[in-house]
């Protein structure tokens, strides 16, 4: 049977309503219709072709990218696409490009950290793309340590200006996307200095290039930092280097939404947390979680199609060889990745809600959920991108030799995706931020301050430290409450143990440094609990369509039990489950794999419907 006939056969065998499942994946019928419409628009437009990307030189790739970006903008205007449709179109063009940063960071930063006048001045030009902006925070010497940035912005009361300067080689801005060739402006993060006093890092809008001839302005040295990982991939982006030699800007070019400098040069810190200067990073981190589910679903689509079509060994009496998807080892490697794509999809939907909620609260000067939002966005960005990067590599291996061919789509997908573990915050550094939040929560348990939200379980830690999971048979692991309690007990015990061990150190900072690895692991346990709990909440919603909820329940159990199996040591060490119960969980997982198999190609193939037009380079 031809591969495509087989796919059609597999779809027909689906035990669930594939059309309804597409809507679950998209988040709503409207979102699905927009995605499908824009995906067809991109796939049918030869300008957006991607199959030649890995064969182009860096220069031709960059020209091709600019051509696509210009064509995308033209189509957005011609078709009067909405902001959501335009964002989808940029996403489906699927090539790192300067507009990612203009729309994804430069504009959000002005909206989040600029005052009303600054938004009115800069946003209309940015929306019309009369100016192109980038987000220039990282320097050659500092990326993770934002408070270590060296670029200076010194207020000159004589002229009512800031002098932007790069005092050292390591203060050179290094990495900002869009900086190397395209951006006319940058959002520069620099040390604010007034009257000799250093007020820490703040944002400044600085023009880099002339709007007439695009040449760098006086005092500006700017360029591209060169080839990056792999051919094609992120080389379509002009990540750049930038140095300032006493460049003067007007005082009103400091973003004044969070803090201000008066005409007299007085620094005014509004009664808002200084960390709002980090707000754009929080915004992008929550977007990256949803993006992880998309990248992961692409890789899993490719690996599933291969696994369904590929046959190897097992022929009897000249009959067909065995489909590799029937091998238990292939299933145990592939199906948890399929389940993870859904898990990240759903937690990404929830995180978008959490971010929207905190944005509304901030407008009412309610900062109460800011710490939790920081911990959730940092932790989920870290855990989902690390898992997705590993999963794309696993999908390459699941496809045998073909997975290493560019035409499989996997090498390019891997090369474009893996920097997500670094940009918007190194994943370990972000886990340590989560750990800081967990330790602060544990330290306050006796204070009467009741933990709420995603950390509420910590308020039940006394019970959780004693609890024993009620599992006597494999099928007991199919109960969401049993799984949830196991994950809560593991997370609570790992955090409480770290807190106890920290008390053995006279100096908390020294303890934190010595126990950093344990703290990072406790952070992962906390974040995985969030993902599991949000999957359960999704399943508690009304999910229409024949068999759709049943399939999602199977995927939930595959996701949770494969994690439990992978981290069995943590669970057993926390005392909440016994080795025998761990073995029963693994037994249940094996049973689940056989159920996922019969529907798996349909589950995945409908995602292929949405994405195969985009994976034009996938040739098998």
Ligand X SMILES: Cc1cc2nc3c(=O)[nH]c(=O)nc-3n(C[C@H](O)[C@H](O)[C@H](O)COP(=O)(O)OP(=O)(O)OC[C@H]3O[C@@H](n4cnc5c(N)ncnc54)[C@H](O)[C@@H]3O)c2cc1C
> Annotated active-site positions, please?
424
Of 136 and 337, the one with the shorter C-beta distance to ligand X is 136
Q: Please tell me whether 177 is known to bind a ligand.
A: yes
- We find the least distance from the C-beta atom of residue 445 to ligand LCXGKVS4, in angstroms, to be 16
Q: Which residues between 198 and 257 bind ligand LCXGKVS4 (CB under 6 A)?
A: none
Of 327 and 505, the one with the shorter C-beta distance to ligand LCXGKVS4 is 505
Give kind and range of the element (H or E) at residue 152.
strand 152-156
Of 180 and 371, the one with the shorter C-beta distance to ligand LCXGKVS4 is 371
Identified binder of ligand LCXGKVS4 from the candidate list 21, 96, 308, 488, rule CB under 6 A: 96
Would the CA dihedral through 267, 430, 170, 98 be positive or negative? negative
Q: Which of 449, 505, 461, 487 is nearest to 571 (CA)?
A: 487
| Coil, helix or strand at residue 386 | helix
d(CA 359, CA 13): 45
Neighbours of 547 (CB within 10 A): 16
Please identify the residue of the shown chain whose CB is closest to the bound ligand LCXGKVS4.
104
Of 526 and 549, the one with the shorter C-beta distance to ligand LCXGKVS4 is 526
Is 334:325 a contact under the CB 8 Å cutoff?
A: yes
Q: Which of 421, 585, 436 is nearest to 511 (CA)?
A: 436
Q: Where are the beta strands (DSSP E) in 253-379?
A: 259-261, 267-269
Q: Which residues bind ligand X (CB under 6 A)?
A: 101, 135-138, 143-144, 175-177, 234, 239, 419, 422-423, 425-426, 428-429, 432, 516
Q: Name the binder of 440 from ligand LCXGKVS4, ligand X, none, CB < 5-8 A by kind.
A: ligand LCXGKVS4
Identified binder of ligand LCXGKVS4 from the candidate list 105, 188, 413, 471, rule CB under 6 A: 105
Q: Which of 447, 444, 385 is nearest to 416 (CA)?
A: 385
Q: Name the binder of 374 from ligand LCXGKVS4, ligand X, none, CB < 5-8 A by kind.
A: ligand LCXGKVS4
* φ/ψ (deg, to 5) at 86: -65, -40
Of 292 and 483, the one with the shorter C-beta distance to ligand LCXGKVS4 is 292
| Coil, helix or strand at residue 311 | strand
- Would you count residue 101 as binding ligand LCXGKVS4 (CB under 6 A)? yes
Residue 129 CA: distances (Å) to CA of 48, 106, 132: 20, 12, 6
Of 155 and 423, the one with the shorter C-beta distance to ligand X is 423
Q: Which stretch binds ligand LCXGKVS4 (CB under 6 A): 113-121, 279-287, 530-538, 549-557?
A: 279-287
Residue 498 CA: distances (Å) to CA of 426, 522, 528: 22, 8, 17
- Would you count residue 440 as binding ligand LCXGKVS4 (CB under 6 A)? yes
Give kind and range of the element (H or E) at residue 344.
helix 328-363
Q: Would you give the end-to-end CA distance of the chain in angstroms?
A: 14
Both structure tokens of 315: 């022929």
Is 355:373 a contact under the CB 8 Å cutoff?
A: yes
Of 53 and 333, the one with the shorter C-beta distance to ligand X is 53
Q: Which of 179, 383, 138, 182 is nearest to 281 (CA)?
A: 138
Of 68 and 597, the one with the shorter C-beta distance to ligand LCXGKVS4 is 68
How many residues make contact with ligand LCXGKVS4 (CB under 6 A)? 33
Q: Name the binder of 32 from ligand X, ligand LCXGKVS4, none, CB < 5-8 A by kind.
A: none
d(CA 136, CA 415): 23
Of 138 and 253, the one with the shorter C-beta distance to ligand X is 138
Q: What's the 3-state SS for 550-573?
A: HHHHHHHHHHHHHHHHHCHHHHHH
- We find the least distance from the C-beta atom of residue 298 to ligand LCXGKVS4, in angstroms, to be 13
Identified binder of ligand LCXGKVS4 from the candidate list 278, 342, 556, 606, rule CB under 6 A: 278
Q: Name the binder of 234 from ligand X, ligand LCXGKVS4, none, CB < 5-8 A by kind.
A: ligand X
| Coil, helix or strand at residue 442 | helix
Q: Which of 189, 146, 598, 538 is nearest to 343 (CA)?
A: 538
Is 313:181 a contact under the CB 8 Å cutoff?
A: no
217 contact partners, CB below 8 Å, separation of at least 6 = 207, 208, 209, 210, 247
- We find the least distance from the C-beta atom of residue 265 to ligand LCXGKVS4, in angstroms, to be 24
Identified binder of ligand LCXGKVS4 from the candidate list 288, 415, 584, 585, rule CB under 6 A: 288
d(CA 89, CA 47): 13
Q: Name the binder of 465 from ligand X, ligand LCXGKVS4, none, CB < 5-8 A by kind.
A: none
d(CA 376, CA 87): 24
d(CA 92, CA 100): 12
The site string for ligand LCXGKVS4 over 129-148 (x = CB under 6 A, - otherwise) reads ------x-xx----xxxxx-
Q: Name the binder of 582 from ligand X, ligand LCXGKVS4, none, CB < 5-8 A by kind.
A: none
d(CA 105, CA 108): 5
- We find the least distance from the C-beta atom of residue 205 to ligand LCXGKVS4, in angstroms, to be 16
d(CA 506, CA 37): 61
The site string for ligand LCXGKVS4 over 334-373 (x = CB under 6 A, - otherwise) reads ------------------------------------xx--
- Would you count residue 433 as binding ligand LCXGKVS4 (CB under 6 A)? yes
Q: Name the binder of 428 from ligand X, ligand LCXGKVS4, none, CB < 5-8 A by kind.
A: ligand X
- Return the ∠ at Cα 271 (arms to 268 and 272), rounded to 5°: 105
- We find the least distance from the C-beta atom of residue 517 to ligand X, in angstroms, to be 9
Identified binder of ligand LCXGKVS4 from the candidate list 20, 372, 424, 570, rule CB under 6 A: 424
Q: Which of 272, 333, 256 is nearest to 600 (CA)?
A: 333
Rg (CA), the chain: 26
- We find the least distance from the C-beta atom of residue 402 to ligand LCXGKVS4, in angstroms, to be 26
Q: Which stretch binds ligand LCXGKVS4 (CB under 6 A): 301-309, 428-436, 511-519, 528-536?
A: 428-436
Q: Name the binder of 120 from ligand LCXGKVS4, ligand X, none, CB < 5-8 A by kind.
A: none
Q: Name the binder of 379 from ligand X, ligand LCXGKVS4, none, CB < 5-8 A by kind.
A: none
465 contact partners, CB below 8 Å, separation of at least 6 = 489, 492, 493, 496, 575
Which residues define the annotated binding site? 138, 177
Q: Which residues bind ligand LCXGKVS4 (CB under 6 A)?
A: 96, 100-101, 104-105, 135, 137-138, 143-147, 177, 275, 278, 281-282, 284, 287-288, 291, 370-371, 374, 423-425, 429, 433, 436-437, 440
Which residues define the annotated binding site for FAD? 138, 177
């Amino acid at each position: 049977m031809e591969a495509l006939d087989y796919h059609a056969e597999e779809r027909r065998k689906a035990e669930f309503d594939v059309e309804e499942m597409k809507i679950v994946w998209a988040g709503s019928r409207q979102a699905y219709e927009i995605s499908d419409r824009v995906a067809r628009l991109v796939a049918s437009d030869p300008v957006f072709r991607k199959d030649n990307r890995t064969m182009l030189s860096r220069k031709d790739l960059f020209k091709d990218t600019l051509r696509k970006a210009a064509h995308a903008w033209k189509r957005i205007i011609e078709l009067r696409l909405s902001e959501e449709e335009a964002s989808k179109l940029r996403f489906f063009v699927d090539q790192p490009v300067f507009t990612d940063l203009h729309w994804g960071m430069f504009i959000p930063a002005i909206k989040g950290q600029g005052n009303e006048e600054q938004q009115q001045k800069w946003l209309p030009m940015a929306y019309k793309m009369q100016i192109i902006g980038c987000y220039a925070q990282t320097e050659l010497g500092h990326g993770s340590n934002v408070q270590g940035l060296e670029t200076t912005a010194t207020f000159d009361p004589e002229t009512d200006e800031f002098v932007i300067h790069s005092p050292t080689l390591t203060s050179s801005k290094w990495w900002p996307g869009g900086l190397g060739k395209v951006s006319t402006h940058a959002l520069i993060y620099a040390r604010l200095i007034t009257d000799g006093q250093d007020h820490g890092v703040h944002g400044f809008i600085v023009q880099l290039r002339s709007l007439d001839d695009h040449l760098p302005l006086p005092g500006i040295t700017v360029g591209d930092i060169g080839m990056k990982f792999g051919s094609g991939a992120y080389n379509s982006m002009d990540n750049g280097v930038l140095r300032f030699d006493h460049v003067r800007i007007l005082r009103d070019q400091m973003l004044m939404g969070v803090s201000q400098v008066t005409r007299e040069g007085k620094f005014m810190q509004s009664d808002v947390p200084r960390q709002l200067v980090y707000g754009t990073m929080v915004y992008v981190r929550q977007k990256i979680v949803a993006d992880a589910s998309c990248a992961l679903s692409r890789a899993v689509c490719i690996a599933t199609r291969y696994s369904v079509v590929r046959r190897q060994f097992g022929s009897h009496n000249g009959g067909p060889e065995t489909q590799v998807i029937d091998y238990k080892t292939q299933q145990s490697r592939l199906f948890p990745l399929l389940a993870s794509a859904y898990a990240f999809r759903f937690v990404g939907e929830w995180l978008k809600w959490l971010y929207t909620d905190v944005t509304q609260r901030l407008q009412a000067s309610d900062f109460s959920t800011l710490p939790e939002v920081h911990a959730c966005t940092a932790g989920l960005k870290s855990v989902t991108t690390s898992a997705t990067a590993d999963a794309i590599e696993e999908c390459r291996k699941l496809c045998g030799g073909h997975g290493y061919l560019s035409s499989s789509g996997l090498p390019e997908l891997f090369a474009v995706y893996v920097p997500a573990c670094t940009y918007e915050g190194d994943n370990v550094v972000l886990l340590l931020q989560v750990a800081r939040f967990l330790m602060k929560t544990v330290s306050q348990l006796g204070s009467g301050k009741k933990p709420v939200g995603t950390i509420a379980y910590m308020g039940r830690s006394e019970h959780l430290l004693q609890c024993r999971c009620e599992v006597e048979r494999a099928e007991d692991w199919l109960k969401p409450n049993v799984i949830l309690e196991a994950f809560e007990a593991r997370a609570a015990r790992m955090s409480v143990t770290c807190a106890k061990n920290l008390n053995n150190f006279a100096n908390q900072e020294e303890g934190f440094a010595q126990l950093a690895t344990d703290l990072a692991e406790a952070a992962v346990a906390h974040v995985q609990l969030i993902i599991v709990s949000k999957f359960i909440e999704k399943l508690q919603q009304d999910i229409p369509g024949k068999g759709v909820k049943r399939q999602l329940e199977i995927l939930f159990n595959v996701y949770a039990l494969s994690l439990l199996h992978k981290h069995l040591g943590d669970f057993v060490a926390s005392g909440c489950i016994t080795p025998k119960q761990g073995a029963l969980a693994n037994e249940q997982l094996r049973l689940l794999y056989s159920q996922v198999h019969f529907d798996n190609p349909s589950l995945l193939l409908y995602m292929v419907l949405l994405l195969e037009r985009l994976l034009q380079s996938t040739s098998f």
